[in-house]
Chains A and B, each alone.
Chain A
Amino acid sequence: MGNRLLSALLASAALVATAGFAEAKTVIHVMHQGDPGWVKAYGDVATRFEAANPDVDIEMIYAPHDAYNEKFSAAVMAKQLPDIMELDAPFLANYVWSGYLQPVKPLIDKDLLDDMTDSNIAQGTYPIDKDLYAIGLTDSSVVLYGNKKYLEAIGARIPKSVDDAWTREEFEGYLEKLSKLEGVKWPIDTFRGYGIKTEWITYAYGPLLESAGCDLIDRKTWKASGTLDGEACVKALTMMQDWVKKGWVVPTSSGTNQFYAEGQPAALAMGGHWFYAEASAAMKDNIVVMPLPKIGDKGVSPNGTWIWGISATSENPEIAGKFLSFLLKDKEYREYAKTQSAYPGLKSFAAESPLYAEGGPLAVAFEQASKTAIARPPHPAYPTITSAFMQAVDKIFNGGDAQEALTAAAKKIDEDIEDNAGYPPFDEQQ
């Protein structure tokens, strides 16, 4: 009896083991951030992919936007990097240098690679080996939104193209006129309310400063001292501090939108392309989209957004690449992206996005991508660069001395680079 029971148990165990083996699926972990709409969109794509590929199980790992880096660090320490991860483009150099990512060119469908815009290629490329490490459906930009009624009231010129963007004189002149216009509480909302916990200051203000001849770091010598604390940067940030002192800029305490809020108290807004969907819904025809002003000789605009990379530790990179290709081609995902006024990073997506096509309300934003977009410094020290820079700008906007704050920031950046022996092979780039 005992033997019979033992045999039966062994047989059942073998059956269960065989069944489990037969049903074993390849699991692909995908770490991402996003609001409920994006979370659902990604989840739906994963479901469709699983239906088309019954032997693959896609496990979506959600990480809150504000704790994404902490979650990523935990995954690294626990040696639990996902197969695919969403990453903020300016952090790409740091991730590649640290050995977390692998080139995606051999893993992604060729037609998608050929479809990428130059700006999208730039945000996913590591400057040392010039290889592509990440790809996305989207990119991003910042434009100058204007309240049509207010601008007409002061007789402002409305630029139609990047080539005729406002000059510094025009821009400051309009800010001054708007400050005196009835109904305008603040001439411009630069979204100081985003604070220094997001990338906003580096992402949006950096290009204005670059337009004025400044930069966060010398992109050849990779030294911040002499550049970030140089005369051009000090002058440019003193100029912005002056706008704040004059009460032209919406303060941090007023939140993240005073442009289309009740009474429309801010006349202009230096906002991301994503802001258009909400602003136009609230303001209808009273909104104009303009290129960022030229503070110096050249116009500069930002680029870069959250893109997808495949981790170096992935045991199934081919399947991961297959899922990424599936995601980027998915029609419903693209449709959802359109409703969010997503900025095209693929030419085919741009062609099917009425917002960005020629004559579309955000065409000027898309024009910036090819004419004025400059990526944030693609260096492994970028996390330190952005953090030091944002703290300096925050200090300056709150009345601190520009030279002092920028010198401290430059020193901090250079120290980080020195502490890492120049982040070889970046130290050989000089």
Chain B
Amino acid sequence: MSDLALTQPVPLAIARGNGKRSLRIVQSLCILVIALVMISPLFMLLIASLKDDRFRILADMGSFRAFWVSDPTLSNYKEIAHFSGELAYGRYLFNSLVILVATVVSGLVVNSMAGFVLAWGSLRGKAALLALVVALYVIPQESIIMPLVVMMSRAGLTDTFAVQILPWVASPLYVFLFYQFFAQLPKELYEAAEMDGASVFRIYRSIYMPLSLPALATVSILMGIESWNQYLWPTLVTQTDYARPIAVAIATFFGQDSIYWDRAMAASVLMMIPVLILYLAFQRWFVSSFVGSAVKG
């Protein structure tokens, strides 16, 4: 047998085919391992939310038992699904949703308009404006947060939904994203519409906006995640449960003396779902936006 193996060489094409298949198997295995590593925290979160003993969750962490629940229960979800009182996590989730939708919708309008004007508007000092937008982007949120609190308080907006939406509607990053996207579209589009007598607003609304789905998707996802995960800002500007978002409410589970992992996990799962839905809904355009920006040039 060994002689046969030595004297009869394997045809090159078959050897290459086998090599490619082996490579593909190795690649797939690597991807699978990476995927498992990436998904394991989420899976652990989900499993932990189905355990009703916070000490058990703590004890299981760091071992494979963290990925297994023998007697799953929805009791954690039941405990937090209230819509009234100080611990109304159902209501806080709803509050967060309202804030997210309002921020994203108004953000898309404001930032896309600004981006469009910067790209095609006949403004004087457009370059300087663009430079200012980029410069504003590098200012960290933390450095302006206290003056912003004072401004909002003087405007009488403390403990409202508006205070959690208004400051984040316009963003230099998203203005710049829209500007870049619009600027890449052919100039002829604008000129043809202008010759047909369309107003600037009409051109923006009827021609450029329908073409900018990838940009809209990207901004929606990024803005949505940003709004959803806001913690310090709503902590500073909300007082009562009226407009308290879920991110702040979850902090109650992380007390001075102990951490309520069971309910914190259940609330985190609930908190994760809307963002996941947002991502899945816009994923196709989100990905194409990145692919598009990567191959252009």
- Taking Cβ atoms with an 8 Å cutoff, the residues of A that contact B are 29, 33-36, 38-40, 43, 59-67, 70-71, 73-74, 77-80, 198, 255-257, 260-262, 272, 274-275, 278, 281-282, 306, 340
Contacts and interface: CB of A to CB of B under 8 A. Distances in A.
Contacts, number: 100
B239 A34 contact: no
Interface string B148-175: 0110111000100000000000000000
Interface stretch (B21-29, B33-41, B97-105, B257-265): B257-265
B163 to A, nearest CB: 11
Contact of B86 (A39, A74, A340): A39
Contact of B252 (A64, A70, A77, A261): A64
Contacts of A71: 235-236
B58 A67 contact: no
Interface residues of B, number: 37
Nearest to A63: B235
Contact of A66 (B87, B153, B254): B254
B254 A340 contact: no
- By Cβ-Cβ distance, the 9 closest A-B pairs, closest first, are A35-B255, A64-B251, A78-B153, A274-B257, A262-B59, A74-B236, A43-B86, A74-B149, A61-B239
B109 interface: no
B178 to A, nearest CB: 32
Contact of A64 (B58, B85, B239, B254): B254
B55 A35 contact: no
Contact of B255 (A38, A79, A282): A38
A34 B240 contact: no
21 contacts: A34-B252, A36-B87, A36-B252, A36-B260, A39-B86, A39-B252, A60-B240, A64-B254, A66-B251, A67-B231, A67-B235, A67-B236, A74-B149, A77-B149, A77-B150, A78-B150, A78-B152, A78-B154, A261-B58, A262-B63, A278-B258
Interface of B: 55, 58-61, 63, 85-87, 146, 149-150, 152-154, 158, 231-232, 235-237, 239-241, 244, 248, 251-260, 263
A60 B256 contact: no
A66 B251 CA distance: 8
A307 to B, nearest CB: 13
A32 to B, nearest CB: 10
A278 B86 contact: no
A70 B253 contact: no
B248 A59 contact: no
Nearest to A43: B86
Contacts of A262: 59-60, 63
Nearest to B250: A64
Contact of A34 (B63, B255, B263): B255
A70 B232 contact: yes
B240 A61 contact: yes
Contacts of B235: 63-64, 67, 70-71
A278 B252 contact: no
A78 B158 CA distance: 10
Nearest to A35: B255
Contacts of B149: 74, 77-78
A115 to B, nearest CB: 24
A34 B55 contact: no
A285 to B, nearest CB: 18
Given A40-B87, A77-B149, A67 B257 contact: no
B59 to A, nearest CB: 4
Given A36-B252, A64-B235, A74 B146 contact: yes
